[in-house]
A and B are shown apart, each in its own frame.
Chain A
Amino acid sequence: MAAACTGSDSSTSSAPEPGPSSASTEPAATDVAGTPIDNTEARAGGDATVFVAGRNAFGQPIDSLTREERRAFAVGNNFFNDNWVTAPASTEGRDGLGPMFNAQSCSSCHEFDGRGAPPLAADDPERGLLLRLSVIAPDGSALPDPVYGGQLQDRAINGVPVEGRIVIERTEVHGTYADGTPYTLLAPTYTIEDLGYGPLAADIAVSPRIAPAVFGVGLLEAVPDDALLALADPDDADGDGISGRVNRVLDPSGDLVIGRFGWKANVATVEQQTASAFHGDIGISSRLHPVQDCTDTQAECAAAIDGGEPELDDAKLERVTFYTRTLAVPARRDVGDPDTDAGAAVFDELGCSSCHRPEMRTGPAAIAATSNQTIRPYTDLLLHDMGPDLADERPDGEATGSEWRTAPLWGIGLIDDVNDHTRLLHDGRARNAEEAILWHGGEAADAQNRFLQLDAAARGQLLKFLDSL
């Protein structure tokens, strides 16, 4: 375990560099050694699967896009990747950054369409971690900080004070497997220094959020609401200790709808998620978020020149949304490998698959390749209580302060290839999949406890299986 942690940490400095692009056509029914390959298992995204590993594994378009769709994908990719700049600029379609912001582009947090990581050293650039700010109202709902708003923006354009700087302290948490093997987790605490607008609310709660990988969201969006409701068991009627709930959130028109994106399933659609991130993270307004994200006390922010009303027009919002919807899912690797297959059985036996559901079926969708597909995302898209150690105490929609949406596991074995790290969970505290399992509590406490009872060989098989996803 200690060795595993060391390996994970040092990998950030020695920067393993997988190939920039390793594509392959779909394997035949048997590989060169004659082992049968189960393509159903490998085709994690159904017809929206690509057989690509390496740096660009998360950034591929679905194969079957038409020439025009492929061009729309390219346009969306461009607005996902390119930096926004300070207004006014000659590039009128790309100005309006901030006034306060966390990032200049989508891709600076979702690098190569992948997953962010927390800063590991004090002077490390922040690569996709942000803090939500909330004050819990008497009725239990989360309100924004009256001065700083609902999110700490740790950067600003020239002339506008920065809100503050995230400081992370990490405390070691020690534990032991049943076989006597010790392990060490790192428990982060977050403080905000160099506050630009005076003190935060006295009872402020900070909720760290890591940028997740973005491929496959078009498929998850195409899973019918009914399918999620069928998986839900809010009162644990079946008595298995697992009580998945759908989150219900207000959509922009004020209707109560089922949420499925975000760490607490607090956003219903890819379009809303895209517009929210543009607004909160980059400071770019759109039809869904027309007003700049400045509070009444942030005069310089309010006075700054904007980049148009809105800064991101509907056509561009549509293209970026189309882009993320049509990012294909990378195929599973090593299906049929004895250790990996044994690990898949362990995954079931421990009860991981009660929430990380292997299979779902999409319904009709506007994009043909995402319609009526059998997909293997390893999630139920439902909320589960994950216990006090992971709780951020921020309610969101119907999610409580200790509930989280089951994170999809597809592609987790490729994060290291794409993003040069293996950090997991909502704030990237887990240095690898093993630590992520160990952090599980609440409804997952029994499964976590069963993991602790495994011997080293079975643990290794389980991790190997996860690495094949």
Chain B
Amino acid sequence: MVATLVAACGDDDDTGTAATDTAGTSASSASSASSAPTGTEPEAAGPTDDELLAVATTYADLVHAGYEAAIASATEMKTAIEAFVADPTDATLGAAKDAWLASRDDYGPTEAFRFYDGPIDNPTDGPEGQINAWPMDEAYVDYVEGDATAGIVSDTAGYPDITVDVLVEANEQGGETNISTGWHAIEFLLWGQDLSPDGPGERPLADYTTDANAERRATYLQLATQLLIDDLNSVAEQWAPDAAYRTEFLADPAVAVQRLLRGIGALSRGELAGERMAVAYETKDQEDEHSCFSDNTAADVTNNARGAEIVYLAEFPGIDGPSPSDLVAAVDPALDEALRAQLATSVELTSGFPATFETMIAAPEGDPANEALLEAIVSIEDQGDMIAEAAAALGLEITLEV
């Protein structure tokens, strides 16, 4: 019943607001005395509350560990960037780039924790737009080909001092987010514009040594890096043991499991297969790839696919407990087996791409490189649909759009 789930979801709220009030509001607006069943118990054949709680608890531990891993490697990136700024050489720039790439491998899987208005992307104060916004408004940040004085870095009159507040404010100019901070801003400041059809950007070292704005650019790079780490910490804290959000998340185990499945279902179907892959496949815009400056998009895709698998199997270093897969296997073993196989196939296909992402996009229809991309899209679409089926098998309904 619609009414059941709406009412059940009514207590989804960021910390700090009155949960009872909010839940009451939603319940009263969505249900009525005569037609609203009470409670959120799945059907008799489904998992018990205890089983659901065990899975949700393992998930909460996993989410916390996932963000902690991302913070650890982002902090290593920060160290490498500080070393680069202190002594800009080809070697230190290369090390900073390597650290960015390594850190993306830890952040990518955490995108499986999105899409249910949790700490990362709740519409009120979730920092996702500040962390991972794309497309990157590069001309808003620094010079670009065709406009040598573009961006905040060049605009000494408009932005005499570059500070964290300036970046945050610029990011929310006019009430919008998604402009000038996060992973892709850092990526742009390290690699520069991607102007070649089959390689990454080639920002000259002089941008950080002899260029008139070298110091401002370095400041921007360092501040954006620190802001990223701060934002990641703000999310991780909400999943720490005894944190308010975590407690609230676990308060209704059925809703918690519904959310974690919605997270990986929407990541698969709407976001990864749709937004990130089908769009690039269709538009054939070579730069319609998310990490275009570094040409790391194929790895980003694999990292997202891994994220879905990690959540479904609850397999992550240091994490031990029952998984969503266990729940599904108990009610529909064949579906569980098929879904596990599909998740593995998606990771295998995306990690075995025969060419760079931009080459696959540009390749004509029928070309093996282009076909490989389509094959991966179909696999991830299918896995998204199967995640919805798995949720339904547990008596839970999810949507897959983002």
Which residues of A are in contact with B by a Cβ distance under 8 Å?
11, 14-25, 27, 31-33, 35, 51-56, 59-61, 67, 70-72, 74-75, 77-79, 81-83, 85-95, 97, 103-104, 108, 111, 124-127, 154-155, 157-158, 305, 315-316, 319, 331, 333-334, 336-340, 413, 416-417, 420, 467
A333 CA to B3 CA, complexed, in Å: 8
A18-B9, A20-B115, A52-B2 are contacts. A89–B137 as well, Cβ < 8 Å? yes
14 more contacts with CB within 8 A, not counting A75-B279, A315-B282, are A16-B10, A19-B9, A19-B117, A19-B255, A20-B117, A79-B279, A83-B178, A85-B135, A90-B193, A93-B288, A158-B155, A333-B2, A334-B3, A417-B6
A87 proximity list for chain B (CB < 8 A): 139
A11 CA to B21 CA, complexed, in Å: 10
State whether B29 touches A25 (Cβ < 8 A). no
Please name the residue on chain B nearest to A119 by beta carbon.
Answer: B175
State whether A85 touches B2 (Cβ < 8 A). no
B255 proximity list for chain A (CB < 8 A): 19
The 5 A-B pairs at the shortest CB distance, nearest first, are namely A19-B9, A125-B175, A74-B274, A22-B5, A93-B285
Instruction: Give B142-181 as 1s and 0s: 1 = Cβ < 8 Å from A's Cβ atoms.
Output: 0011110011000100100000000000001111101100
Please name the residue on chain A nearest to B159 by beta carbon.
Answer: A158
Q: List 21 A-B contacts (CB under 8 A).
A: A11-B25, A15-B17, A16-B26, A18-B9, A18-B30, A24-B5, A25-B397, A60-B399, A67-B381, A71-B377, A74-B279, A78-B275, A79-B279, A83-B178, A111-B123, A124-B175, A155-B173, A158-B155, A334-B3, A337-B32, A337-B34
A82-B135, A333-B30 are contacts. A18–B10 as well, Cβ < 8 Å? yes
In chain B between 262 and 293, which residues have their CB closer than 8 angstroms to a CB of chain A? 262, 266, 270, 273-275, 278-279, 282-283, 285, 287-288, 292-293
Min CB distance A373 to B, Å, is 21
A51 CA to B17 CA, complexed, in Å: 29
A16 CA to B10 CA, complexed, in Å: 8
Instruction: Give B24-64 as 1s and 0s: 1 = Cβ < 8 Å from A's Cβ atoms.
Output: 01100111101101000000000000000000000000000
State whether A31 touches B136 (Cβ < 8 A). no
State whether B397 touches A22 (Cβ < 8 A). yes
State whether A71 touches B401 (Cβ < 8 A). no
Q: Which of B137, B172, B282, B288 contacts A86 (CB 8 A)?
A: B137
A22-B397, A31-B1 are contacts. A89–B135 as well, Cβ < 8 Å? yes
Residue B138, interface by CB 8 Å: yes
State whether A74 touches B273 (Cβ < 8 A). yes
A27 proximity list for chain B (CB < 8 A): 1-2
Residue B194, interface by CB 8 Å: yes
Q: Which of A24, A67, A81, A89 contacts B144 (CB 8 A)?
A: A89
B147 proximity list for chain A (CB < 8 A): 88, 305
B179 proximity list for chain A (CB < 8 A): 83
State whether B401 touches A61 (Cβ < 8 A). yes
B122 proximity list for chain A (CB < 8 A): 17
A157 proximity list for chain B (CB < 8 A): 140
A20-B262, A92-B287 are contacts. A103–B401 as well, Cβ < 8 Å? no
Residue B18, interface by CB 8 Å: yes
Residue B14, interface by CB 8 Å: yes
Min CB distance A33 to B, Å, is 6
A127 CA to B177 CA, complexed, in Å: 12
A60 proximity list for chain B (CB < 8 A): 399, 401
State whether A86 touches B401 (Cβ < 8 A). no
A51 CA to B398 CA, complexed, in Å: 11
Instruction: Give B121-144 as 1s and 0s: 1 = Cβ < 8 Å from A's Cβ atoms.
Output: 011100000000111111110001
A127-B175, A336-B35 are contacts. A88–B116 as well, Cβ < 8 Å? no
In chain B between 1 and 23, which residues have their CB closer than 8 angstroms to a CB of chain A? 1-6, 8-10, 12-14, 17-18, 21-22
A75 proximity list for chain B (CB < 8 A): 274, 278-279, 282-283
State whether A21 touches B399 (Cβ < 8 A). yes
Min CB distance B172 to A, Å, is 8
A133 CA to B2 CA, complexed, in Å: 43
State whether A83 touches B137 (Cβ < 8 A). yes
State whether B22 touches A19 (Cβ < 8 A). no
Residue B217, interface by CB 8 Å: no
B381 proximity list for chain A (CB < 8 A): 67, 70-71
State whether A78 touches B279 (Cβ < 8 A). yes
Please name the residue on chain B nearest to A55 by beta carbon.
Answer: B117
Min CB distance B383 to A, Å, is 14
Min CB distance B213 to A, Å, is 15
Instruction: Give B351-376 as 1s and 0s: 1 = Cβ < 8 Å from A's Cβ atoms.
Output: 00000000000000000000000000
Min CB distance A430 to B, Å, is 17
Min CB distance A157 to B, Å, is 8
A61 proximity list for chain B (CB < 8 A): 401
Please name the residue on chain A nearest to B193 by beta carbon.
Answer: A90
State whether B8 touches A19 (Cβ < 8 A). yes
B401 proximity list for chain A (CB < 8 A): 21, 56, 59-61, 77
State whether B12 touches A17 (Cβ < 8 A). yes
A333 CA to B160 CA, complexed, in Å: 55
Residue B259, interface by CB 8 Å: yes
A337 proximity list for chain B (CB < 8 A): 32, 34-35
